[in-house]
Structures are given as C-alpha cells and as structure tokens.
Structure 1
Amino acid sequence: MSMPAPRNSLTDIAGLRVGQVHDAAVRTGVTVILPDQRAVCAVDVRGGGPGTRETDALASHTLVDAVDAIVLSGGSSYGLAAADGVAAALGARGDGFALFDMPGVPKSPVVPSAILYDLANGGDKAWGEEPPYRALGKAALAAVSDTVELGAFGAGHGARAGLHAGGTGTASLDLSGEGGRVAALVCVNSFGSVTLPGADDVYWAWPYEIDGEFGCGRPPADWRPAPEDWGAAKMQPGPRENTTIAVVATDIALTPAQAKRLAIMAQDGLARAIRPVHTPFDGDVVFALSTAARPLGKDGEVQLARLGSAAADCLARAVARGVHAARLATG
C-alpha cells in the first residue's frame, strides 16, 4: 500500500531542498526548489493569467533538458526578479548550463519561475524602484533545507485561497513495489474555493486525505454540490489577482516529454482541490522535476501513468494541507 514518505514533503525526493523566505511588512515571499544536481524539468500552464520566466526553454524539442533551480514568488510581475537573484548566486558558484567550458565565460543558470498576485493584500508595496524580490530570491536560495513550512511561508506568505487564508502546502507518496516516490509543493492563491459550499470545514480534497493530515471533516451523506455554487470563492476578482503555482517531483528517471506528461496529469490535483480552477483570473502553473535517482521500469508508460495519478493526489492533498495550516494560524 502506498503511503506518505517520512516527511510528507517535496524533500522526500532525495536530492531536492527547499528555501522559503518572506517579508512580513510587504506581505510577500519567495520559495526556491534546489536540486543537488541539474534535474529534468517540464511545465504545464493552465491559468488564464500566468506570469512565468524561462518556461519556453522547457519544451521537449529545445536545447536545455535540465534546470538548476525553480523559483516560486509572490509579487506578480515584480516577483519574476526573484529568479534573477537566484541565477546570479548560482552563476557565482559556477553552476549552470554551458555547451563548452571556456575560461572567463560564465555558465548560464537555468532558473524557470512562476509568480502569483499578492499586490493588493494590504502589505507595504511602496518600494519605488527597488522591489524586494531579487534580494528575497537570494535569501531563499541561502535558506534551502530539508524542511518545508506549511501555511503563510515562502511564496504563499501573502496568498488567499478564495475567501480563506492561502499558503504553502506539500505532500508525498512512497509508491509500493518499484513505483518510486512522488511529491508536490504548492502555493495556493486561488480564485476558487478549497472548501465545500455549506460545509466550510470540509475540503474538496477530503477523499484524498491520509491519516488526518489536514484535519478534514466529511460531507453529510446527502450532500450534493449545486451546479454553480462555488462557496468561498473570490467573487470580485481583478486582473491577475490570483494564481496557484506548484512543483511536483519524482525520483524516477524521466525524459523531458515524460516529465511534461507528469505535469499535465498533476494539474488534475488542482481540479480535485479547488472549485473553480484554471479561470481567466488565475495563472495556474505546475512544474515537474525528475531527479533520476531510480530507473524507469520496463513497463515505463504504465509506471508513468501511476506516477501522474499519484502526483495529482499529492497536489490535491498539498493544497488542503497548506490552506488548513494557514487557517489554523489565523484562527
């Protein structure tokens, strides 16, 4: 039987570490996912208002087939500068991509990123010409560890999940047999609701909860959702005011095309946990990472289907875990 790995976290994938920092005055933050070795990466973008950097380079037909880090950030378009800070710090270490080693020519770190909108959350955004995100990116890189904090941490610090506090969540599964491990990390800032209409203590992800990990109630036996009852969704969104951004990862070796399929399948986890999702107001983005610690089995496509299904389950659980932790912290 498949169960969460020991940390129930993205860092259950050996070779991945996570850094989270935030600025409480600005009410924003940054999360960095750092592989020990450059890792195969793909991305799937479903939201109507995405904000991303270097995602075109992740297509399976392009030159670059691995990344040095992934950055998730608040700050809308300003937050894309967080990846500048990470790339600069990694380049100073000598990390990055190069076709040839040439003396005096720095390598080029490949640092895809995605942002969410937290500009209207009441924090002090009077930063003039010096937004804090480049510095926050460097600080998050310096803070990488095996620990992922749940709730108002990292890029999820200033987030809102519908009418509830949003935040950062994570979850993992250790698949039985030779299935490998899969895990997810998400920063939830959705237009849609994560809880059932009329049952605010019940998360849409309730069928996927394991061992009470997000304190979820259960819907009444006769409960049925009305066709357009969105419950605790944000009902007056402005342009780009939302977005749920996530990373799923596995220790199984995948090609860029297979990682893309993993990201596509993982998006279903957002559909299981948020209603509605992928709206014109959201910029939903899911990255997929492979650390290639274990080989893909002889029944590779079947194993990939299993990984994708598990990634979707992990992502749904991570959404509920993150929001639940944020709600507990805010009372």
Structure 2
Amino acid sequence: MQGSPSSARPGPRNLITDVPGLRVGQAQDAAARTGVTVILPDQRAVCACDVRGGAPGTRETDALAPENLVEAVDAVVLSGGSVYGLAAADGVTAWLGARGRGYALAASPQVPTSPVIPAAILFDLANGGDKAWGETPPYRALGMAAVASASEAFEQGTAGAGHGAMAGALKGGVGSASVVSGDGMTVGALVAVNCWGSVTAPGGRSFWAAPYEIDGEFGGLGAAGLKAAPDDWGLSKAPAGGRNTTIACVATDVALTPAQAKRFAVMAQDGLARAIRPVHAPFDGDVVFALSTGRQACPEPCDYTVARLGALAADCLARAVARAAYAATPWPGSDVRCWRDLTD
C-alpha cells in the first residue's frame, strides 16, 4: 500500500543517518585538501553497487554481486585521493577488525574476522593541496579517524570525502538528504560531489535539482531558472579538466535482498542525472552504493516497494547533490568559487 505522496517528508536530521541503524564519520586533511567519509551500519548490512562513470576507482565491488558469497558489509568508504584514497578502507578494516566486527571465517581467536569494506574514490590530487606525502599518504589514518568519529550528525559541504572536491567550476563537497514515506519507509542519500558537469543551470544560480527541493533546503530559488541550449553546460569544468567523479551511498531501513539492493542502486543513479549536467562521462568515475539496514520487512508486493524505494532514492540523491554545493565553503586562504558567490 502506498502512503500519501503529500505526507512524505525529510527525516528529523535530513541526513542519511535518519535511516535507522546508520552512522557517518568524516575526517579531512586541510593541508592536503582531501578527506574521507565512512558510512557505518550498526550491524552488517546488505549492500549493492552500480557503476556508471567511465573511470571508476573502487574496492570490493565485485564481491557485492548477488551471485557471490558476500551478502552484507561492515561499512562503506568514500574517499578523495584517487588511487591513494583506496587505502582509507584499509584503516577502516583494521579499526573494525580490532573490535571483532566482520565476516567470521572460523570461531577461533586465532582467526581474525574479515570486515567487508567496499569503497570508491574521487580525484582531488590537482586542487592545490600539499600532496608531497612520499611513501606515507594520509588515507589509512584518515579512514581510522573517520570511522572512530561516526555519529548521527555530520558536516556537509567542504568536509570528509568532499573536502577537496569541485562541482564543475564551483566548490563541491559532501551533501546528504532523507525522506520518510507516508507509510513509514525511510530513504537517505549521501554524496561526495566532484563532478565534471555543472550542478546549476547556465546563466544563474538555479540548481538542476530544484524541482525536488523540500522546504528551501538549498536556497529555495525554485525551478524557474532551469533552461539550457543543447551543448550548453554552464559552469562545468573545462574540457581538459578530467579530474572528476561523484560517489554516493543511498540507504533504506527496508529489508532487501542483494538483488533488490542492486535495483535500488540502479534507480538511485537517476538522481545524479537530475542534478548534474552532463554526468557519467568517460572521465567521470561515478559510483552509487546502496545499503539496507533491514529494520522493517519489505511490504508486499515487494517488487513494487523496491520501485518506490528507487524512485525516492533518486530524488533524495538529487537533493543531496545540490545540498553539497549549497553548503560548500572555500578552502582557507583560497579564492575558489562557491555557489554563494553566484549572482543571477
């Protein structure tokens, strides 16, 4: 049974942590202009992944295929740092393993658990930060710091995995949003926006995601300014600016199988297309993870529920993209352009 569309509202925090059973931790290195975000379920959670970008950087995504052994994960990691950032998941693995969390291969203290930590990275290596780290990139330590700080409240904008990000020609960052359906299903999204395309329509400040905005959560400008000619992308990066990728996680408290979670992730990708123009380019590495904390049964018919959840997630992810750019602030001492600097 579908709840009344008019009664669907954001959760109390309007963050992915409105999904029961989730916390988020973040850490950043201001000098290096980079950071890490960890989505941490209270218990192991069903997870799936959908990759649409032409230049992805990921870890453990093959293990999430429905036909494979892994049916649940212990955390999801989003990181800056390109290939170096994948080491953030090593830090999260060590932190969780030391606390006995993970896939238990044997009931013996001599056999450590094996935390399953899928991860995705974005490219922030050329943003002017100090990357002269030699043989000691900061990402493992950042991963450990992020997971240790996990809580229901977290910062948006220039934080975590989005600390070093650019949303087209504007400062990008981390954004999040949530929705609770009229019949009590919760969906949330978290995204690190480092896209090649623009999050705003040409010639103004209107976010592409404007039709999905709730209660003025990213400026309340409305959709009147949404217009673009073919091949006019507005504030996208220059053609040679192949330093991109938008990485995200959507989540629900509804119990899903791995195959259903995969469809949830696939449908959620539409949120990126609603909020970024263009997206999924050859030099984007766009990845969306999907989590199910399983706090409530999937209402029958479950296939219809999955379709509803996917539609809610797409809208939620579009809102999260806009909220990332809306909240973004410059790096200290920089003159990077932010959404708040734009004029109509």
TM-score by length of 2: 0.93
Aligned pairs (5 A) from 1:60-209: 60-178=66-184, 180-199=185-204, 201-209=205-213
Between the aligned partners of 2:224 and 2:65, the Cα distance in structure 1 is 45
Between the aligned partners of 2:26 and 2:109, the Cα distance in structure 1 is 34
Q: What's 1:21 paired with?
A: 27
Between the aligned partners of 2:299 and 2:106, the Cα distance in structure 1 is 33
Q: What's 1:9 paired with?
A: 15
1:71-103 CA distances to partner (integer Å, 9 max, x unpaired)? 100000000000000001111111110243133
Q: What's the CA shift for 1:237?
A: 3.4
Q: What's the CA shift for 1:131?
A: 0.3
Change beyond 3 A, Cα 1:158–1:64: same
Change beyond 3 A, Cα 1:176–1:267: same
Q: Does the 8 A contact of 2:36 with 2:80 survive in 1?
A: yes
Between the aligned partners of 1:328 and 1:209, the Cα distance in structure 2 is 24
DSSP-derived class of the 1:202 partner: coil
Q: What's 2:335 paired with?
A: none
DSSP-derived class of the 2:98 partner: helix
Q: What's the CA shift for 1:218?
A: 3.4
Q: What's the CA shift for 1:177?
A: 1.6
1:107-163 CA distances to partner (integer Å, 9 max, x unpaired)? 110000000000000000000000000000000011101112110000000100000
2:289 is the counterpart of 1:287: yes
Between the aligned partners of 2:172 and 2:223, the Cα distance in structure 1 is 22
Q: Does the 8 A contact of 1:202 with 1:216 survive in 2?
A: no
DSSP-derived class of the 1:184 partner: strand
Q: What's 1:213 paired with?
A: 217
Q: Does the 8 A contact of 2:211 with 2:223 survive in 1?
A: no
Between the aligned partners of 1:316 and 1:183, the Cα distance in structure 2 is 11
Q: Does the 8 A contact of 1:270 with 1:277 survive in 2?
A: yes
**Letter aligned with residue 305 of structure 1:** A
Q: Does the 8 A contact of 1:148 with 1:170 survive in 2?
A: no
Q: What's 2:298 paired with?
A: 296
Alignment length, in residue pairs?
327
2:235 is the counterpart of 1:229: no
Q: Does the 8 A contact of 1:238 with 1:281 survive in 2?
A: no
Between the aligned partners of 2:278 and 2:300, the Cα distance in structure 1 is 38
Q: Does the 8 A contact of 2:158 with 2:330 survive in 1?
A: no
Q: What's the CA shift for 1:306?
A: 0.6
- Unmatched runs of 5 consecutive residues or more in structure 1: none
TM-score by length of 1: 0.96
Q: Does the 8 A contact of 2:171 with 2:330 survive in 1?
A: no
Between the aligned partners of 1:94 and 1:237, the Cα distance in structure 2 is 46
Of 315, 318, 322, which aligns to 2:320? Answer: 318
Q: What's the CA shift for 1:219?
A: 4.8
- Counting aligned pairs with the same residue, the percent is 66
Q: Does the 8 A contact of 1:244 with 1:284 survive in 2?
A: yes
Q: Does the 8 A contact of 1:85 with 1:135 survive in 2?
A: yes
DSSP-derived class of the 1:321 partner: helix
**Letter aligned with residue 203 of structure 1:** F
Q: What's the CA shift for 1:224?
A: 3.4
Between the aligned partners of 2:113 and 2:223, the Cα distance in structure 1 is 54
Q: What's the CA shift for 1:281?
A: 1.2
Between the aligned partners of 1:139 and 1:148, the Cα distance in structure 2 is 14
Q: What's the CA shift for 1:37?
A: 0.2
Moved more, 95-104 or 117-126: 95-104
Between the aligned partners of 1:96 and 1:284, the Cα distance in structure 2 is 27
Between the aligned partners of 2:212 and 2:329, the Cα distance in structure 1 is 19
Between the aligned partners of 1:40 and 1:79, the Cα distance in structure 2 is 24
